[in-house]
Homo-oligomer: A and B are copies of this chain.
Amino acid sequence: MLEDMGRVKKRVDGLILDELLPKSHTVPAIDLLYTMMRDYPARPGKGMRPYLCVTSCEAFGGKEDNCLLTAAAIELFQNWILIHDDIEDGSEMRRGSPALHKKYDWVLALNTGDALHARMWESLLRNRAALGESRTFDIMAEFARMIDETTEGQQMELRWVVDNDWGMSEADYYLMCTKKTSWYTVISPMRLGGFVAGAPTSSVDSLVEPGKKLGVGFQIHDDVLNLSAGSKYGKETADDLLEGKRTLILIKLLSAADPQDKARIVEIFSMSRVARRPFMGEILDLIHKYDALGYAAARSTELVNDALAMMKNVCWTGNEGAARRIEEIARFAVERDW
């Protein structure tokens, strides 16, 4: 499965870098814009989302070749929104290198995100030739929905940080995470594969609920990795903590901690990022004391198991091997150590 995922990733990357994104311009500032647009797409990545899209397409009887533009547009989506997310979150690193706004002036990075966003829609318009107008419209409507959901989730998360709010419940977290992660990571990639294949609306709609759980499970696993991973992981280790990111781990920690520990945790996260840096070890110790990592890991596995059980009811109409591969991708999402 991993090998096949790598193969699809390579095809999608080739399409993005060779055909969808502009290469050079005689005006230096515009040439720099193009260089910056190509920066995140050229960085290493697992390519799980485009693979899920292509695999879902095959599971509904569609062809990989017809799905590549849409899979590439999913990658373009992730790249432009990550540029903006990294600015919003003040992230230092992305996929093993400095975040775009750390490598270049941040105002140029913001503008680059917008330029890349437009290229995503341009790429989707190209579907018209191979898929026809009706399917292309379905695909574009799904992208609009996906961005609506993602920006709503992002707004929820940003506001917690802006307001120094630590009162969110697990239910608040699941809603935020469904919107911010599940839609663009799982639900839309699978649904888009269905639209490319011309699957019936009822089948495509049946992917939403299991996709929500799968996406949240994936995100929790990602957050657990961020606090436990070594060099394999592209982001600065534990930078989630430094950013004050509201993860299930921290939410569990806050609800499980005794009043004294809880007060200390909130005190540390009320400091500026620079000021709180020396206390990250203390937070990690508390995370271990209350086994918040273990709790989160267990929830992640549980969510994926629930999702897989629900997916048994999805009426795949195509390649049976592909339908099984979707389960493998789901398992991989919560078992990977990178």
**Whole-angstrom distance between the Cβ of A22 and the nearest chain B Cβ:** 8
CA distance A155 to B115 in the complex (A): 10
Whether A33 is near chain B, meaning CB under 8 Å from some CB there, is yes
Given contact pairs A32-B159, A88-B111, A108-B159, a sample of 15 additional A-B residue pairs in the complex whose CB atoms are under 8 Å apart: A25-B152, A27-B156, A27-B175, A29-B156, A30-B155, A33-B152, A33-B155, A88-B107, A88-B110, A108-B158, A111-B155, A112-B155, A114-B151, A115-B155, A118-B144
Map CB proximity to B onto A6-25 as digits: 1 under 8 Å, 0 otherwise.
00000000000000000001
CA distance A88 to B154 in the complex (A): 20
Task: Pick from A49-57, A120-128, A324-332 the stretch touching chain B.
Answer: A120-128
Map CB proximity to B onto A159-170 as digits: 1 under 8 Å, 0 otherwise.
111100000000
CA distance A111 to B89 in the complex (A): 11
Partner among B81, B112, B115, B137 whose Cβ is within 8 Å of the Cβ of A133: B137
Partner among B32, B115, B134 whose Cβ is within 8 Å of the Cβ of A147: B115
**Whole-angstrom distance between the Cβ of A10 and the nearest chain B Cβ:** 26
Partner among B110, B119, B137, B148 whose Cβ is within 8 Å of the Cβ of A118: B148
Closest B residue, CB atoms, query A146:
B118
Residues of B within 8 A of A298 (CB): none
Closest B residue, CB atoms, query A85:
B111
A interface with B by C-beta (< 8 Å): 25, 27, 29-30, 32-33, 81, 84, 87-88, 105, 107-108, 110-115, 117-119, 121-122, 125, 128, 133-134, 137, 140-141, 143-144, 147-148, 151-152, 154-156, 158-162, 175
CA distance A144 to B29 in the complex (A): 20
Partner among B27, B29, B117 whose Cβ is within 8 Å of the Cβ of A114: B117
Closest B residue, CB atoms, query A33:
B155
Closest B residue, CB atoms, query A172:
B27
| Contact A107 B33, beta carbon cutoff 8 Å | no
| Contact A110 B134, beta carbon cutoff 8 Å | no
Question: With A111-B88, A175-B27 in contact, do A144 and B125 touch (Cβ < 8 Å)?
Answer: yes
| Contact B155 A32, beta carbon cutoff 8 Å | yes
